Amino acid sequence: MTTTPAPFLTLRDLRVQFPTDDGVVKAVDGLSLALPRGRTLGIVGESGSGKSVTGLAVLGLHDPRSTRISGSILLDGQELTTAPEPALEKLRGARMAMVFQDSLTALSPYYTVGRQIAEPFRKHTGASRRDARLRAVEMLGKVGIPNPARRVDDYPHQFSGGMRQRAMIAMALVCDPELLIADEPTTALDVTVQAQILDLLGDLQRQTGSAIVLITHDLGVVAGTVDDLLVMYAGRAVEYGPVGDVLGAPRHPYTWGLLSSVPRLTSDVTKPLSPVPGAPPSLLDPPPGCPFHPRCAYTERVGGDRCRTERPELPEGRGAACHLGPERARALFGGARRTGTGGDRP
């Protein structure tokens, strides 16, 4: 592993909780990570594992009246959890931006694509209407929309799904943000367009050197795209490390389970896939000890009541939060599973 440059985004023990009538939903429960400029972090996990909640928390988009956030979010050294709203507004769209999953609902149907792209540029740079429009045309061209000077005046419903997602990326990148959080940016798209969008994100990152957080539940997407991978379960990091290590030699039974549930071209199609048994735990009342233990097949090997009573932590913020430990994990899952496109990108 090369020496990592100073992180641009740092989360320390981030907790996001939603108090409800039935109790407190612990959507993110003590998450720490560090992401330097120019690198891409993938966050994977099932629905409700806290991926999107984490992304929204970084931008400060949770409703403060219904959300409790504690811990620390540092953007280039600046604490965001306690930052006042106007300061966050200056950062959003300018230094940190977000791409949402469903471009049909994330773009307003009432305004032209060009206007929606130009809007943050005008706000953050004070550019004139004319210049902002030129910038919108430039951005549309950059994300690969053909004939951008004409399409800039189209409404979102006149764009195809892939073009809308490109337009949304243009909207997020219009001020050259140093941090881009892409929340399932390709989930709603078909496979060929998915690849184009991922390539586009990679190209733009090489040009601007920004840090990218790619939130997805699709392991195929992260394999060829990200540098580091964080696997989330029940609001916690269960495994975190360079993508090649995590996918090539998973050390957590949950990561192993996720990998085993992915259909592969090389696998025997007559054999059924092995999904992770059970369902994600309630975030209102998570299981004691390791939150994964009710679905885990290896609690016996750990022995005793350890998995049910003692919560495993990530050793030094990296590796796997599992009582099995790296040795036994390697023996159980090690190296057996090679990912088709896995490994660190050069």
Partner 1 sequence: MLRFLVRRVLGAAVIVLLISAITFFLFFALPSQPALMSCGKNCTPDALAVINRNLGLDEPVPVQYWHYVVGVFAGRDLTVGHCPAPCLGYSFSNQQPVWDTIMDRFPTTLSITLGAAAVFLVAGVGLGMIAAAFRGTWVDKVVSSLSLLGHSLQVYFLGVVALAVLVSGLHWLDNPEYHPITEDPVKWFTGMIIPWLVLSVIFVANYTRMTRSQMVEQLAEDHVRAARAKGLRRRTVFFRYAWRGAMTPIVTLFGIDLGSLFGGAIITETTFSLHGLGRLAVTSVSETDLPTLMAVMLVGCTAIVVANIVVDAAYAVIDPRVRLA
Secondary-structure breakdown of the chain: helix, strand, coil percentages, each rounded to the nearest 5: 35, 20, 40
Q: Give the nearest distance from C-beta 164 to partner 1 in angstroms.
A: 11
Distance in angstroms (rounded) separating the CA atoms of residues 107 and 196: 20
Write out the residues near partner 1 by the rule CB under 8 A. Answer: 56, 59, 61, 65, 85, 89-94, 97-98, 100, 102, 105-110, 119-120, 123-124, 155, 157, 168, 171-172
Pairwise CA distance, residues 241 & 230, whole Å: 7
Which C-beta is closer to partner 1: that of 101 or that of 194? 101
Element (H, E) at 240: strand 236-242
* Helical pair 191-208 and 161-173, crossing angle rounded to 10 deg: 20
What's the closest the beta carbon of residue 60 comes to partner 1, in angstroms? 9
Query: What's the closest the beta carbon of residue 173 comes to partner 1, in angstroms?
Result: 11
Please, are residues 216 and 300 in contact by the beta-carbon 8 Å criterion? no
Q: CB nearer to partner 1: give 217 or 301.
A: 217
- Which residue, 35 or 174, is less far from partner 1 as judged by CB? 174
CA 251 – CA 141 distance, rounded (Å) = 43
Between residues 152 and 329, which has the closer beta carbon with respect to partner 1? Answer: 152
Pick the closest to residue 99 from 114, 83, 117, 84 (CA basis).
Answer: 117
Q: How far is the CB of 327 from partner 1 (least distance, A)?
A: 44
Nearer to partner 1, 110 or 268 (CB): 110
The CA distance from 323 to 167, in Å, is 45
- Torsion sign across C-alpha atoms 203, 51, 161, 137: negative
Task: Count other Cβ atoms within 10 Å, centred on residue 200.
Answer: 19
Q: Which is nearer to partner 1, 21 or 110 (CB)?
A: 110
Q: How far is the CB of 88 from partner 1 (least distance, A)?
A: 8
Q: Which is nearer to partner 1, 106 or 193 (CB)?
A: 106
The least CB distance from residue 65 to partner 1, in Å, is: 7
Determine phi and psi for 48, rounding to 5 degrees.
Answer: 85, 10
Least CB distance from residue 11 to partner 1, whole Å?
18
DSSP letter (8 states) at residue 303: -
